[in-house]
């Protein structure tokens, strides 16, 4: 077996702009891909800076997958600093429980 890491996780969203802005603007992720698909959908991939795994914000209208909370966990080297940065960015608890739609 030569699997080294997970490339991406899929997160269905109804509003790519709002979802991308949350992950990029509030969490500081990079936008890796942002383009329209041939099927008329919108393909957006974001990831923490330097990460090997990204989040694909998939169009629920194209895939038929319901938007809503999905579980994934982020790791940090300085929780207190990250909490302070999220507060400064006006990220509230409901942002994390109700994924941007």
- What are the structural domain ranges in the chain? 8-97
In words, the CATH class of domain 8-97 is: alpha beta
For residue 97, what pLDDT is reported?
Answer: 44
Nearest to 45 by CA among 36, 37, 57: 57
For residues 23 and 98, which has the higher predicted lDDT (pLDDT)? 23
CB burial of 53-71 (b: ≥16 within 10 Å; e: otherwise) equals: ebbbbbbbeeeeeebeeee
User: Where would I find the H helices in the chain?
Assistant: 16-21, 60-63, 79-88, 93-97
For residues 99 and 51, which has the higher predicted lDDT (pLDDT)? 51
**Distance in angstroms (rounded) separating the CA atoms of residues 80 and 4:** 30
For residue 90, what pLDDT is reported?
Answer: 81
Token duo for residue 12: 């269905």
For residue 101, what pLDDT is reported?
Answer: 42
Q: What percent of the chain has pLDDT over 70?
A: 72
pLDDT in tens, 28-75: 999 999 988 787 777 899 999 999 899 988 766 555 556 555 666 677
- Reply yes or no on whether the pLDDT at 78 is more than 80: yes
């Amino acid at each position: 077996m030569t699997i080294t890491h997970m490339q991406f996780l899929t997160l269905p969203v109804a509003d790519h702009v709002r979802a991308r802005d949350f992950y990029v603007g509030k969490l500081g992720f990079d936008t890796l891909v942002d383009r329209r698909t041939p099927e008329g959908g919108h393909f957006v991939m974001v990831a923490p800076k330097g990460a090997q795994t990204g989040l694909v914000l998939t169009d629920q209208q194209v895939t038929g997958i319901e938007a809503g909370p999905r579980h994934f966990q982020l790791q940090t080297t300085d929780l207190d600093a990250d909490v302070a940065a999220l507060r400064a960015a006006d990220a509230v608890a409901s942002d994390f429980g109700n994924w941007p739609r």
